[in-house]
C-alpha cells in the first residue's frame, strides 16, 4: 500500500476562521484546489453571504441520485448537522462517515481510512458511483482525495473538496459535485460506448436544463420546445448516472440557474453551446426560445412557430392574473432574477432583488432587463442588505430567507420564505405566469391584520418583556449591569494576557 506524507492539521481547528483555514489548505498542498474554487465561485465585497453549510448542496445532489453512495469526511459535529438536514429533506438514504482524531489526521491515517471505506462500499451490485466529500478540516489538512482510485470493480469514485471557506453557498456546492460527475461521464463517453440513457429517442435533438427545477417545469419547457422539434434532455443535477450521458448528448444546454460554472464548463468541453436566462413571462420566453433555436441551428420559421404558439398563452395568463403590489425579493436558490422578471411582467412594483449567488454571464440578460425597469439587482447579497432594502421600501410583501421573513413579520409586513413558497411553484411558460398572483394576493390581503397583531403584542417577547408570569418590568439589582460590565472586561483582559 502506498504511503502518504503526514497531513498538516490546521492549528485552530474548524473554528480558526476562513483565512487560517485557507492558509492551512494551501500549505498542505491544496493551492490548486482552492484557486479553482475561487475562480468558479468568486466572493462578494463582504466575503460571502450567510448560508447553511455549503457541503449540504453537494450532499443533496448525491442523495437524490439512484445507486450513488455518499461518504463524508469531516468533524463529527459538521457531519451530524449535514445528516440531520438530509433527513429533514426526506432523503431516506444512509450517509457514510469516516471519523478522525488528531493522530489519524496528522499521520495521514485518515486517508487510508477513507480508502478502506471506499473499498468496502464500492460494490457494483449496489452502486454506480461512490462520492467522497472532504469538509473543512480534511480539506485544510490536505487529505488528497485525488489519490483515490478512479473506479473499483466498475464503480466510479468521485472525490471532491467542499470547504465552507472555499465554496460560498450551498447552491454552488451543488455544482461542485454535478460538475465532477459530468466530467467523469464526458470522459467515459469520449473513451467508448456507455450505458443507454432511459427514454432516449434516437434522432430527437434535446436541450439540457442546468439547475434544480420545480418538477413540473421541465414538462412545461418541453411543451415550449416541441414546435421546434426539440425535447428536454435529462436534467443537471441528474437523478441517475446514465442521465449524465443523456444530458451531454444534447444540441445545446440552458443555464437556467446561472451559477453552475463547472457544469457549464463540461458542456462546453463536450462541444455544446450554452444559453442563459429562462422562458419567464412574454419577453423572457421570446428571447429564450430565439436563443435556444439559434444555438440549435434551427431555421427562423421553426423558431417563429414556437413563439407564436407560446406567447399568446403566456400573455393571457399574465393578463388574467395581474399582481398589484410592491414587493422586495431575495433568496439563495439562483432563480431570483427569473422570479423577479415574472413579477415585473405581471405588474408588480419591484424596487429590489437580492441573490446570494454571483454575477455570471448567464444572468446578464436578466440583470440588464431588470435594471432597465428600475430594479436594483444585488449579487452576493448579505442578510443585512436584504433587510435594509426591505425596511427602506416597506413593501406590501417581502419574499426572502427565513431571517428576513422573521424581521418582516416583526414589522407587520407580510412575508414569504422563497425556498418553500416560491421555488415550490412552476416558473416557466403559462403555468409560471399564473402561479404567483394568487399567493401574492392572499398574503398582501393580510397586511392590516399583521398591523393589528404587531400593535397588540408590542413589547412582548423582546428584551425586558421576554418570558411570562411577570406583572411588570423586571428590575435589576442596583449596580448589577455595571458590575457585569467590569467582570466581562476583566475576563477579556485575562484571556488576552494568557494568549500572549
Model pLDDT for residues 168-208, shown as the tens digit of each residue: 999 999 999 999 999 999 999 999 999 888 877 787 899 99
On whether both 286 and 213 belong to a single domain, the answer is yes
Tell me which residue of 433, 353, 427, 359 sits closest to 390, measured CA to CA.
353
* Residue 368 forms part of a structural domain: yes
Rounded to a whole number of angstroms, the CA Rg of the chain reads 25
On whether both 310 and 332 belong to a single domain, the answer is no
* Residue 397 forms part of a structural domain: yes
Give phi and psi for 274, each to the nearest 5: -125, 135
* Residue 187 forms part of a structural domain: no
Residue with cell string 439512484: 66
In this prediction, residue 1 carries a pLDDT of: 43
Q: Is the pLDDT of residue 396 over 90?
A: yes
Residue 354's beta-bridge partner residues? 330, 378
Least confident of 109-118, 242-251, 438-447: 438-447
On whether both 286 and 347 belong to a single domain, the answer is no
* Domain's final residue, options 439, 454, 469: 454
On whether both 221 and 104 belong to a single domain, the answer is no
* Residue 485 forms part of a structural domain: no
> Who contacts 330 (Cβ-Cβ below 8 Å, separation ≥6)?
336, 352, 353, 354, 355, 378, 381, 386, 389, 399, 400, 401, 404, 418
Cα separation, 255 vs 263, whole angstroms:
9
Q: Is the pLDDT of residue 6 over 80?
A: no
Q: Are strands 326-331 and 206-209 parallel, antiparallel or unpaired?
A: unpaired
On whether both 296 and 334 belong to a single domain, the answer is no
In this prediction, residue 203 carries a pLDDT of: 79
* Residue 196 forms part of a structural domain: no
> Who contacts 374 (Cβ-Cβ below 8 Å, separation ≥6)?
351
Q: Say which residue, 262 or 454, is predicted with more confidence.
A: 262
Q: Are strands 231-232 and 206-209 parallel, antiparallel or unpaired?
A: parallel
Q: What is the CATH number of the domain that holds 309?
A: 3.40.50.1980
* Residue 484 forms part of a structural domain: no
Going by pLDDT thresholds of 50, 70 and 90, the confidence category of residue 460 is low
* Domain's final residue, options 279, 297, 316: 316
Least confident of 93-107, 117-131, 225-239: 93-107
Going by pLDDT thresholds of 50, 70 and 90, the confidence category of residue 474 is low
Going by pLDDT thresholds of 50, 70 and 90, the confidence category of residue 410 is confident
**Is the bond leading into 75 cis (omega within 30 degrees of zero)?**
no
Residue with cell string 484571556: 495
On whether both 60 and 82 belong to a single domain, the answer is yes
How close are the terminal C-alpha atoms of the chain, in Å?
A: 44
Q: How many domains does the chain have?
A: 3
**Mean pLDDT value of segment 246-259:** 96
On whether both 95 and 218 belong to a single domain, the answer is no
Cα separation, 329 vs 415, whole angstroms:
10
CB atoms within 10 A of CB 441: 15
On whether both 401 and 376 belong to a single domain, the answer is yes
> Who contacts 402 (Cβ-Cβ below 8 Å, separation ≥6)?
417
> Who contacts 242 (Cβ-Cβ below 8 Å, separation ≥6)?
194, 195, 196, 197, 198
In this prediction, residue 304 carries a pLDDT of: 95
* Residue 75 forms part of a structural domain: yes
**Mean pLDDT value of segment 363-384:** 96
On whether both 21 and 130 belong to a single domain, the answer is yes
* Domain's final residue, options 316, 346, 377: 316
Q: Is the pLDDT of residue 265 over 80?
A: yes
Going by pLDDT thresholds of 50, 70 and 90, the confidence category of residue 13 is low
On whether both 128 and 80 belong to a single domain, the answer is yes
Residue with cell string 412582548: 460
Give me the chain's average pLDDT, please.
89
* Residue 481 forms part of a structural domain: no
Q: Which residue segment(s) compose the domain that 269 sits in?
A: 206-316
In this prediction, residue 456 carries a pLDDT of: 67
What percent of the chain clears pLDDT 90, i.e. is strictly above it? 65
Least confident of 320-334, 396-410, 453-467: 453-467
Residue with cell string 424596487: 351
Summarised one tens digit per residue, pLDDT across range 296-340 is: 999 999 999 999 999 999 999 999 989 999 999 999 988 999 999
In this prediction, residue 43 carries a pLDDT of: 83
In this prediction, residue 16 carries a pLDDT of: 65
Give the pTM.
Answer: 0.86
DSSP string of 317-337?
HHHHS----EEEEEESSS-HH
On whether both 132 and 21 belong to a single domain, the answer is yes
DSSP string of 334-355?
S-HHHHHHHHHHTT-EEEEEEE
On whether both 349 and 247 belong to a single domain, the answer is no
In this prediction, residue 105 carries a pLDDT of: 85
**Mean pLDDT value of segment 359-381:** 96
Task: Enter the C-alpha cell of residue 45.
Answer: 465585497
Cα separation, 74 vs 99, whole angstroms:
7
Amino acid at each position: 500500500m502506498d504511503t502518504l506524507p503526514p497531513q498538516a492539521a490546521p492549528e485552530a481547528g474548524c473554528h480558526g476562521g476562513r483565512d487560517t483555514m485557507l492558509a492551512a489548505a494551501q500549505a498542505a498542498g491544496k493551492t490548486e484546489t482552492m484557486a479553482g474554487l475561487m475562480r468558479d465561485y468568486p466572493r462578494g465585497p463582504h466575503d460571502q453571504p450567510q448560508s447553511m453549510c455549503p457541503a449540504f448542496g453537494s450532499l443533496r445532489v448525491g442523495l437524490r441520485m439512484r445507486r450513488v453512495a455518499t461518504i463524508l469526511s469531516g468533524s463529527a459535529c459538521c457531519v451530524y448537522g449535514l445528516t440531520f438536514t438530509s433527513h429533514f429533506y426526506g432523503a431516506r438514504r444512509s450517509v457514510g462517515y469516516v471519523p478522525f482524531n488528531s493522530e489519524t489526521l496528522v499521520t495521514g491515517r485518515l486517508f487510508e481510512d477513507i480508502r478502506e471505506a471506499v473499498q468496502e462500499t464500492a460494490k457494483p451490485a449496489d452502486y454506480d458511483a461512490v462520492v467522497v466529500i472532504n469538509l473543512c478540516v480534511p480539506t485544510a489538512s490536505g487529505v488528497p482525495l485525488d489519490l483515490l482510485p478512479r473506479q473499483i470493480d466498475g464503480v466510479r469514485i468521485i472525490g471532491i473538496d467542499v470547504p465552507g471557506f472555499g465554496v460560498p453557498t450551498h447552491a454552488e456546492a451543488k455544482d461542485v459535485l454535478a460538475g465532477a460527475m459530468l466530467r467523469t461521464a464526458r470522459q467515459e463517453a469520449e473513451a467508448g460506448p456507455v450505458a443507454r440513457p432511459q427514454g432516449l429517442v434516437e434522432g430527437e435533438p434535446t436541450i439540457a436544463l442546468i439547475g434544480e427545477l420545480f418538477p413540473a417545469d421541465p414538462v412545461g419547457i418541453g411543451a415550449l420546445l416541441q414546435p421546434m422539434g426539440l425535447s428536454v434532455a435529462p436534467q443537471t443535477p441528474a437523478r441517475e448516472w446514465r442521465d449524465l450521458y443523456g444530458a451531454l448528448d444534447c444540441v445545446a444546454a440552458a443555464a437556467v440557474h446561472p451559477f453552475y460554472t463547472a457544469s457549464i464548463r463540461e458542456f462546453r468541453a463536450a462541444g455544446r453551446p450554452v444559453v442563459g436566462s429562462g422562458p419567464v413571462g412574454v419577453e423572457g420566453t421570446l428571447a429564450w426560445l430565439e436563443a435556444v433555436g439559434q444555438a440549435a441551428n434551427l431555421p427562423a420559421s421553426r423558431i417563429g412557430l414556437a413563439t407564436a404558439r407560446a406567447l399568446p398563452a403566456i400573455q393571457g395568463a399574465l393578463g388574467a392574473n395581474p399582481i398589484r403590489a410592491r414587493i422586495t425579493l431575495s433568496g439563495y436558490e439562483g432563480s431570483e432574477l427569473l422570479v423577479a422578471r415574472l413579477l415585473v411582467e405581471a405588474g408588480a412594483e419591484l424596487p429590489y432583488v437580492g441573490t446570494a449567488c454571483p454575477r455570471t454571464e448567464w444572468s446578464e440578460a436578466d440583470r440588464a432587463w431588470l435594471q432597465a425597469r428600475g430594479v436594483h439587482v444585488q449579487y452576493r447579497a448579505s442578510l443585512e442588505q436584504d433587510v435594509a432594502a426591505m425596511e427602506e421600501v416597506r413593501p406590501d410583501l417581502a419574499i426572502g430567507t427565513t431571517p428576513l421573513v422573521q424581521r418582516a413579520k416583526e414589522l407587520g409586513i407580510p412575508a414569504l420564505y422563497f425556498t418553500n413558497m416560491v421555488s415550490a411553484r412552476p416558473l416557466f411558460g403559462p403555468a409560471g405566469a399564473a402561479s404567483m398572483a394568487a399567493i401574492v394576493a392572499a398574503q398582501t390581503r393580510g397586511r392590516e391584520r399583521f398591523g393589528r397583531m404587531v400593535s397588540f403584542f408590542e413589547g412582548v417577547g423582546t428584551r425586558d418583556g421576554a418570558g411570562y408570569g411577570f406583572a411588570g418590568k423586571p428590575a435589576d439589582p442596583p449596580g448589577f449591569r455595571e458590575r457585569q460590565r467590569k467582570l466581562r472586561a476583566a475576563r477579556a483582559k485575562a484571556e488576552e494576557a494568557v494568549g500572549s
